Amino acid sequence: MKVHTHFLRVLHKWIGLLIGVQFLIWTISGAGMALIDMGAVGGGARPEPALVHLSASDGWPKVQTELAGTAVESVSLRPLLNRYVYDIETPAGTVLFDATSGQRVHIDASAARRIATAAYPGGAAVKAVTSLDRLTPAVREHELPIWRVDFNDPQNSSFYVSGSNGTLLERRNDSWRVWDILFMLHSMDYVNRSDFNHPLIITVGFAAVWLTITGLWLLVRTGWRSDFKKVRRPAPIHPQDTRDQAPAA
């Protein structure tokens, strides 16, 4: 199959323009991510949770009574605020029980506020507590129910608490939001912002390879020949130059 040089040159030029713009985006976004302090992106140092001792009265027998007839997939004992809780996984979801009293523990707005405040490294006040009705980019890898706790600080920090088990899921702020946008541009994942192996970036990668191959072919086909001709071709001698070189009478 005969390749028309003019058509290939035009195609190479416009595809090169698109790939060049993407390379510029990769460079700017990569440099931006490198310049942002990852400690600020992560929300600062995490305070160590205060552990408490279980009292002599264990609430496990009462928990067993409450769960009679319920299939239990796993049980774990962990601290939550100033007490221990039984974190129990069932087919219907996660349930929490106070390890001392055996009472059911619910993660409501008040509990989410206290969990987020205990995890916040500074002394800023809570601005708002909101129950999410859908997953946002900040918690795209988690599941509802989720509480969002906003703090009144310069970084506009938002902590996300699981409405099921009270776990602190994420700590987000303005530094993270800027970093997340830069990561989206760098990975070209404009939907989930977490995947480097999606069709768009693979297509751009193959286009860059094609651009390199066709660029080398065009260089051999058109560029080098004209350059070598200019090198080998002797410079023309003008009549004026001949007269200047003639010996004087």
What DSSP state is assigned to residue 151?
Answer: E
Mean pLDDT of all residues belonging to the chain: 84
Average pLDDT over residues 67-73: 88
Burial grade of 33 (CB within 10 A; 0-12, 13-18, 19 or more): middle
Cβ proximity of 101 and 85 under 8 Å: no
pLDDT > 90: percent of the chain: 41
Residue of 106, 105, 98 lying closest to 58 (CA atoms): 98
Question: Around 129, how many Cα atoms within 13 Å sit in the side-chain half-sphere?
Answer: 17
pTM (predicted TM-score): 0.75
pLDDT of residue 121: 85
Pairing state between β 74-80 and 83-90: antiparallel
Look at the block and give the residue holding tokens 């007269």.
Answer: 243
Q: How far apart are CA 66 and CA 222, in angstroms?
A: 83
Residues 193-210: pLDDT tens digits? 777 787 888 888 888 888
Alpha helices of the chain — where are they, by DSSP H?
A: 5-35, 38-41, 60-66, 109-119, 174-187, 199-218, 224-232, 239-245
211 or 54: which leads in pLDDT: 211
**CA distances in angstroms from 239 to 233, 236, 242, listed in the order given:** 18, 10, 5
pLDDT in tens, 85-106: 999 999 988 999 999 889 999 9
Contact present, 171 and 159 (Cβ < 8 Å) = yes
Q: How far apart are CA 231 and CA 221, in angstroms?
A: 17
171 touches 164 (CB < 8 A): no
SS3 (DSSP) at 235: coil
